[in-house]
Every structure is written in structure tokens, then in C-alpha cells.
């Protein structure tokens, strides 16, 4: 497998090269790329983009720094008409630059495009899910480099619930908040500590890596645009700058979504600034919508919740409905269910928060909480296999069956997912592209699949909807009729009558 290659957008170049202090995520990406001799390119259209920068000093510095990078040339004869046909309307000069970058990515001359531009991410996703997965925020690019070239044992990351007074607010984790909010220390003491506000925290290597401060509100006392009887306000949502590539933002958001759904909230909301592109992109992906702005110029992002059965909408696919209403999903006669057997090693990789060995591991206690609260990992996942069976359309239900295992649970259905896509990878490079920023495999592990045109690897992208606790044992599966005799060794279709029984047994927090 050859080295990965990255094309960086103008905003990444400026973030790395201007006269301000370099953000930790940018520095991590740059140092990892240099250490592992990974090709990093700047597209020739970056000169045009930088030339429009009204900050003359920054423009001068940025143009001078382009020479540090390999310059990626534009395809001769490429026209705006061709770009617009492929990537949608191009109303501004910056839109043409974005489409040109995506054209370079789609040509497979580079593996990934790194950008903090929310609009570029959205344009890539509209073109195709596969292209969208290859456009990365800088933190995720740094994480992918770490995963690919520096494989190591990663501690199980749990979300722990604590009161604000239990957190050391002098931690350097809060420095950026103090910089952005001069009144932060006063607010933390008066509002968070004195009111004993509940928080979700994530610790990594004994360091605070992620934090959410939450507050219950009602229609009479809220800054939400939409009024409701039970509102969940996310007062603070922060991930440490050098941890933004380990999907901790998605981990924390999953905690919010599962908590709000389980506890009957009608609305959840938080505020963001315009420069928080990665956070806004993540929120919008899971159904949050910009409802307005507050007096400080922050965008108010809201999302509604319900325990009622989700109804189909003609203009929305079942997968899109599940994503926008996560963790709820559609169930009708057109939705199929499938069982996916998974070996213990792969199960532990995909669901590290379910890994519960009889002997405590080296990382026990990293959460700083006696009872870590699930969920403990990301929503979007990718599973690799060579199972010959076909899966249904996006929106199909996936029941993951953990095979005979040394650790509990063994021979049981442990998790429920929603299918996003199934694609065949016919080379290691395709495997890397299709798994994109979600990969939990190193370069060596991807190579060991030996993907070829004659022996392709099935890449299953899906959303984790719920853990099934207690897990559905093999005996239960036999009683239901899902398993007859020995359990299936390959992907299999679940009969409609069995599908309903499995969902009833899953104890979901909403009707299906």
C-alpha cells in the first residue's frame, strides 16, 4: 500500500502558515504528515483564493508559503460548466475553487481533501456519500494519520456524568473558553458550581478531553426559539483541540441524543459561532437546524424529539429519515432486517464500550467515574467483511450477532444498526477511500485484507442505533425462530415476523 496523499484547502494552509499561533489539530496533522513522509498538496487555484483575502499581510504571507508544498495542477481544459454539472451551482468564485478541489479528489490523484469549510463538506456529500467520506476536517485527518501509521492500543472512552464542582476549572482545557469568554470563570462559579450543574466528561490518558454542561429548561425560561415543556440546553460543548480527531465530538453528541430520547425531552438546543464549522456540520448531519441567532451573534441550533412512531416522508429516504431523527428510524413493509455475525475481535473493535473483560485492563479508571455512562463510542461506523450475502437498501435494520467469545456476552445479538451503504473495495486503496475517516484499521490491517477485483471486500457503512441490553442470547434467538440449529455463519435476512419480535426485545425508547 503506497503512502496516503492529502490535498489541503486554503483555510488549512492559512491555519498552518499565518502569523497566529497554530491550532493543536493543525499542528498534529502537519507533524504526522511530515514524520511519515505523507504527500501534502496545495492546489494551484489556492493562489486565486488567497488573492481575494482582504487581509493584505496574511495574503502576502500565505502566498509566500505555498512554495513549501507540492502544487497540484488543474486539469487542462477543465471548465466551469463541467464543474457545475458535476458539483452543483457555482455562484461565487470560492464555489469554483471548491468544485475544482473536489474534481481533483474525484479523479483519485489524491486520497483525501482536508478543509474546515462547511459548505465544501456539504457539496461533497451531495455529490455522493463516498466522496463526502473523503473530505475531512483537520482533526479527523490527523486522527486518520494516527490510526494508519501509528497504530496503538486505545483506551476505552466512556462518557462519565459528574457535577461541575468535581471538575478542575483551572485545567488548560478551559483556556480557549477564557479567551473567547472573558467572563467564563465568573459564569462557571456562579452558574455551574453553585447550581451544581450536571456535566458529561471524557478523559483520555488522565486528561480532560471533552465536556458538555447541560441544563433543564421549560417554555417560560429558555433561549430556545421553539418553546416546549421539557427542553435540554447544552450550555457548553467542547472538545480539546488536540483531541478533535478522535471522534469525541460525535461521542458527546451521541450522549446528548440518546439521553434526550430516553428521558422524554421535546427539544434540545445549543449555540455555536460561525467559525465552528465542524460542530455545525456534525449537528446538521443529525437533524439539528439553525433556528435563529442570539444577542451575542451565536447561531441557535435546535432539534425536536418524540417517542412516537416515525412516519415516512415521500421526499426523504429511510436512511435520511433515520439520520435526521436519530436514534429513531422507520419501520414499514419495505424495510428489511438482516443478521450480521461478527467475531469477537471485530466486535471489540467496533464496540469497545461493550468490552467488559473479567480482568481489569490497563486503562480502567480513565473515565474518572465509578459508573461510566453509555454510549461510549461513535455513531457512524464501518464494518468490513467478505460475506457473500447481499444486504437491502439504505435504511435496512442490522442486528449484530457476536459469535462464540471468551468474554461475555457470547453468542448473542448485542447491537442494532441502520444501513447507510454497501460498497465493494477491489484494492487496498479503495478500501482506504471507502472507509474514509471512519476507519479503525491501520495500514497493515487494511493490507492484510488483500482486496482484489476477484476477491473484493464488502464495506458496510451504518449508524449504530442502540445496544441491546441484556443481549439476546442464542437460546432466545432459537425460541423466537431466528436461529434453527447452529447459528448462521454469514449475513442472513430476518423474516418480518422475527423482525418485530427482535425489535420488541430491544427495549427501544421510542415506538417503531
Q: Is residue 327 part of a domain?
A: no
Q: Which residues, at least 6 apart from 81, have a Cβ–Cβ distance to it below 8 Å?
A: none
Cα–Cα nearest to 350, from 390, 378, 374, 372: 378
Residue 164 and residue 126 share a domain: no
Residue corresponding to grid cell 494508519: 148
Task: Read off φ and ψ for residue 302, nearest 5 degrees.
Answer: -125, 155
Cα–Cα nearest to 141, from 439, 437, 443: 437
Residue 465 and residue 345 share a domain: yes
Residue 169 and residue 126 share a domain: no
Taking CB atoms within 8 Å and a gap of at least 24, the contacts of 46-52 are: 46/9, 46/10, 46/13, 46/97, 48/93, 48/97, 49/10, 49/93, 49/94, 49/97, 50/10, 50/13, 50/14, 52/93, 52/94
Give the strand pairing for 160-163 and 5-8.
unpaired
Residue 189 and residue 290 share a domain: yes
At which of 149, 179, 201 does a domain end?
149
- 3 state DSSP class of 241: helix
Residue 389 and residue 291 share a domain: no
Residue 382 and residue 233 share a domain: no
Contact between 194 and 217 (Cβ < 8 Å): no
- 3 state DSSP class of 263: coil
**pTM confidence score:** 0.85
Residue 268 domain boundaries: 160-304
Number of domains in the chain: 3
Residue 424 and residue 496 share a domain: yes
Each of the 512 residues of the chain gets a pLDDT tens digit; together they read 567 899 999 888 776 655 555 578 888 898 999 999 999 999 999 888 888 878 888 778 778 878 788 899 988 999 999 999 999 999 998 899 999 999 999 999 999 999 999 999 999 999 998 899 999 998 889 888 887 887 654 444 568 899 999 999 889 999 988 888 889 999 999 999 999 999 999 887 778 989 999 999 999 999 999 999 999 999 999 988 777 655 788 889 999 999 999 999 999 999 998 888 889 999 999 999 999 999 888 999 999 999 999 999 989 999 999 999 999 999 999 999 999 999 998 888 888 778 765 444 433 443 333 333 333 468 999 999 998 888 999 999 999 999 999 988 899 999 999 999 999 999 999 998 888 766 667 778 888 999 999 999 999 999 999 999 899 999 999 999 999 989 999 999 999 999 999 999 999 999 99
Contact between 328 and 310 (Cβ < 8 Å): yes
Residue 293 and residue 385 share a domain: no
Q: Is residue 322 part of a domain?
A: no
Residue 270 and residue 235 share a domain: yes
Amino acid at each position: 500500500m503506497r503512502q496516503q496523499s492529502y490535498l489541503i484547502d486554503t483555510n488549512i494552509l492559512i491555519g498552518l502558515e499565518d502569523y497566529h499561533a497554530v491550532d493543536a489539530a493543525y499542528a498534529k496533522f502537519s507533524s504526522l504528515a511530515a514524520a511519515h513522509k505523507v504527500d501534502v498538496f496545495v492546489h494551484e487555484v489556492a493562489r486565486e483564493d488567497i488573492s481575494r483575502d482582504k487581509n493584505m499581510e496574511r495574503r502576502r504571507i500565505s502566498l509566500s508559503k505555498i512554495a513549501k508544498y507540492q502544487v497540484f495542477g488543474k486539469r487542462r481544459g477543465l471548465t466551469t460548466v463541467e464543474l457545475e454539472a458535476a458539483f452543483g451551482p457555482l455562484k461565487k468564485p470560492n464555489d469554483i475553487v471548491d468544485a475544482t478541489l473536489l474534481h481533483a479528489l474525484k479523479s483519485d490523484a489524491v486520497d483525501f481533501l482536508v478543509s474546515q469549510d462547511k459548505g465544501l463538506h456539504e457539496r461533497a456529500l451531495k455529490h455522493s456519500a463516498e466522496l463526502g467520506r473523503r473530505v475531512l476536517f483537520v482533526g479527523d485527518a490527523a486522527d486518520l494519520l494516527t490510526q494508519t501509521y501509528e497504530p496503538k492500543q486505545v483506551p476505552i472512552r466512556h462518557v462519565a456524568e459528574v457535577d461541575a464542582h468535581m471538575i478542575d476549572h483551572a485545567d488548560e482545557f478551559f483556556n480557549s473558553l477564557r479567551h473567547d469568554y472573558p467572563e467564563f470563570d465568573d459564569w462557571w462559579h456562579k452558574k455551574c458550581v453553585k447550581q451544581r450543574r450536571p456535566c458529561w466528561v471524557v478523559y483520555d490518558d488522565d486528561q480532560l478531553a471533552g465536556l458538555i454542561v447541560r441544563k433543564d429548561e421549560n417554555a417560560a425560561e429558555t433561549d430556545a426559539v421553539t418553546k416546549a415543556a421539557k427542553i435540554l440546553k447544552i450550555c457548553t460543548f467542547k472538545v480539546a483541540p488536540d483531541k478533535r480527531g478522535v471522534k469525541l465530538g460525535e461521542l458527546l453528541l451521541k450522549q446528548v441524543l440518546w439521553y434526550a430520547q430516553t428521558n422524554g425531552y421535546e427539544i434540545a438546543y445549543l449555540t455555536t459561532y460561525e467559525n465552528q464549522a465542524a460542530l455545525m456540520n456534525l449537528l446538521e448531519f443529525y437533524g439539528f437546524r439553525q433556528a435563529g441567532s442570539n444577542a451575542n451573534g451565536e447561531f441557535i441550533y435546535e432539534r425536536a424529539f418524540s417517542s412516537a412512531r416515525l412516519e415516512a416522508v415521500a421526499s426523504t429516504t429511510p436512511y435520511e429519515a433515520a439520520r435526521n431523527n436519530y436514534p429513531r428510524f422507520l419501520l414499514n413493509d419495505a424495510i428489511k432486517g438482516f443478521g450480521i455475525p461478527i467475531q469477537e475481535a471485530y466486535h471489540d473493535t467496533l464496540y469497545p464500550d461493550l468490552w467488559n473483560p473479567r480482568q481489569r485492563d490497563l486503562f480502567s479508571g480513565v473515565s474518572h467515574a465509578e459508573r461510566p455512562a453509555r454510549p461510549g463510542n461513535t455513531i457512524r461506523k464501518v464494518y468490513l467483511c467478505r460475506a457473500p450475502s447481499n444486504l437491502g437498501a439504505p435504511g435496512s435494520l442490522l442486528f449484530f450477532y457476536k459469535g462464540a467469545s471468551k468474554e461475555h456476552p457470547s453468542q448473542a445479538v448485542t447491537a442494532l444498526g441502520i444501513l447507510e451503504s454497501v460498497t465493494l473495495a477491489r484494492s487496498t486503496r479503495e478500501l482506504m477511500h471507502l472507509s474514509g475517516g471512519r476507519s479503525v484499521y491501520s495500514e497493515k490491517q487494511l493490507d492484510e485484507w488483500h482486496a482484489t477485483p476477484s476477491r473484493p471486500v464488502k464495506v458496510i457503512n451504518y449508524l449504530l442505533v442502540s445496544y441491546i441490553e441484556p443481549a439476546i442470547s442464542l437460546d432466545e434467538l432459537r425460541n423466537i425462530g431466528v436461529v434453527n440449529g447452529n447459528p448462521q455463519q454469514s449475513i442472513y435476512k430476518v423474516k418480518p415476523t422475527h423482525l418485530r419480535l427482535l425489535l420488541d426485545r430491544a427495549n427501544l425508547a421510542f415506538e417503531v
